[in-house]
Structure 1
Amino acid sequence: MLNAIIVDDEEFARSSLYFLLQENCEQIHISGIAKSVAEARSLLSQNTIDVIFLDIAMPGENGFELIPNVQHSKAHVIFTTAYDQYALKAIKANALDYLLKPIDIDELKAAVDKASKHISMNKTGQSRTESLQNLAVNLSDRNEIRKISLPNGQGYSLIGIEDIVHIEADSNYSVFHLANEEKITVSKVLKEYEEILPEHQFVRIHKSSIINLDYLKEYSYRNGYEVLLKNGEKIAVSRRRASDLAEKVRSYTSFESEK
């Protein structure tokens, strides 16, 4: 049985989530309900909490301001939010769990099952704390995502986006090629990272490839469309993405010159 709290300023959201958990997630025991971050801090100080269902947009303090207390408690956070494009991108980049409102029952069950597995396997330690810390950093400067968390089997590897040379699709997996020549394989499709990474710097050049324009050395038409990266790798560019790449290169060159 996992002890959980619900943190949300909206009464309907609190009561509906409570009902969904009671009816569909028998492994969850609701230890308390808070309508503000201040009330949530009080609950965390008085109880041992395993899971926090945390709303983001709340008056006064938003949900992210509870993060320091969450780190101390080692609870597993599942963010609940109406759509905020940047916040959602930051949450995804740090491989943290979220539920979009209105909450879907199947997605709720999946999130609870995932939390239960992570807690039982004691995977909520240092790597998750680093992900929460990095989320706070990303959200303090909403210009762009600076680091992403990549699941590695034992936890997460926190990677600076400047260290990503390119990402290669391998069926339902994504292989990250890093500047230090390390490769990290992640069980997520390429599209998820296309949506997370800064679009002015990373470009999809093929159904199986995303490149970091920082590492682009040459764009050639000689042997079909292809790019040469600074690490010596050559990667094909699909014909339908060629014009998009050319436009991104022009934009990125202008962006860099304006820094």
Structure 2
Amino acid sequence: MKLIHNEMPVLGMGTFRLEDDIAYNSVKMALELGYRHIDTAQIYGNEAQVGQAIVDSQVERHELFITTKVWNANLNTNSFIKSVRESLEKLKTDYVDLLLIHWPSPESNEPMKEYLEQLIEAKNQGLAKNIGVSNFTIDLLEEALKTIPASELFTNQVEVHPYLTNEKLRAYCDSKNIHVTGYMPFAVGKVLSDDVIIEIAKSKGVTPAEIVIAWSLSLGLSTIPSSTKRSNLLYNLKGENLQLSSEEISKISNLNINDRQANPDFSPKWDI
């Protein structure tokens, strides 16, 4: 499995919207199939299930790459470190491999400098091996770089799929050597029924999901699809070894219509 920064597998298992036993069973199944990169967040409400699945899988901790994200209510000096320690307790681990600011949207409008300094402190305390951000636009990244050097930002995790290629933001991240992790690669299943993707999949005798994963990775991204079905988890894994031609990659990229799936009312002003 290809690694980013020699640490993070490019293909991970996302857990957004997975709850209770479904979260536990899906993560345990993913680990059995060979996934070693698991992505969760405080707001998902499944860190405890993810942690239990990891323990029960009996995969050695050093083989895993675990990511969690700090929620908006905790983006302040009083709550940040405490919330991270609570996440670690639920995840049954002494550290996460990657800790992210989930949204640049603190509930009480705390300045970015305050919560980024707390993010750095979490790393300094050994609670996280690496740190980064999620849902940061170009303007917000420029503001962040006044507090934290680009070399310290392991990734910017943002929505990327064939219907939202996010090229302007990706190009900026490339210019600063900030790796991009794309979430929601299937646009909640929408792109899997796209005629262009289905046609390419048929020509190769593979599933549309494999095509989308291969496309994402061909752009130099990491990606974290979620699934509750063993067959789909396997198809996603297979996508890592699938090669697309430059023409096929372009055809898929040209499907972009800026169709954003994750757009809560506290979202930043997105790059277009």
The structure with the greater share of residues assigned to strand is: 1
Indicate whether the TM-score tops 0.5: no
Question: Using CA pairs below 8 Å that are at least 6 residues apart, which structure has the higher relative contact order?
Answer: 2
Q: TM-score normalized by structure 2?
A: 0.29
What TM-score results when the alignment is normalised by the length of structure 1? Answer: 0.30
